[in-house]
Structure 1
Amino acid sequence: MRVRIARDLCVGAGQCERLAPGVFAQDDHGLSRALTGTPSAGQWPGVHEAAGLCPVGAVLVTEDGTADRAAPDDRRETP
């Protein structure tokens, strides 16, 4: 499984960083980014909670490298 942030959707609510601080962080503009695309087993509960609580659905969890929902091509995305 992998995780990424759809930066074109992110509004900087910060839920993901609070729930999984070793996986997500906010940049200088307040938008979230993934620090790793492959969190450790112990980090996944926070990642899944962050994905469920993101108000705009910007936390994307994938099974096999494909997005779990359609996302536009966004060159600002962080894997």
Structure 2
Amino acid sequence: MPAKLAELGLVTVGGRQRGDSAHVLAAVRTLNGLEFVAETLRAGLEARAAAAPQWLTTHVEPRCAGATDPADRPSHRTALS
């Protein structure tokens, strides 16, 4: 795993890595905010779909309408393996 992280430019060889660096905390904060927005949007669309299913079919692309399983949703996370 360290080799893959170095290949991605996330760590340097022989360098001292700190988990509390300002840029690391800022990146985590940004990702948390994006995930919060995405989950809020998903919950709103699911509530709307339950209340008015016909609205959903006219406003959401068919390829996205069935992606309620977390495994089916696109992710912003990058696999390291």
Shared fold, TM over 0.5: no
TM-score interval, normalised by the smaller of the two chains: under 0.3
Considering fraction of residues, name the structure with more strand.
Answer: 1
Considering fraction of residues, name the structure with more helix.
Answer: 2
- Larger relative contact order (C-alpha < 8 A, sep ≥ 6)? 1
Query: Given the two structures, how large is their TM-score scaled by the length of structure 2?
Result: 0.25
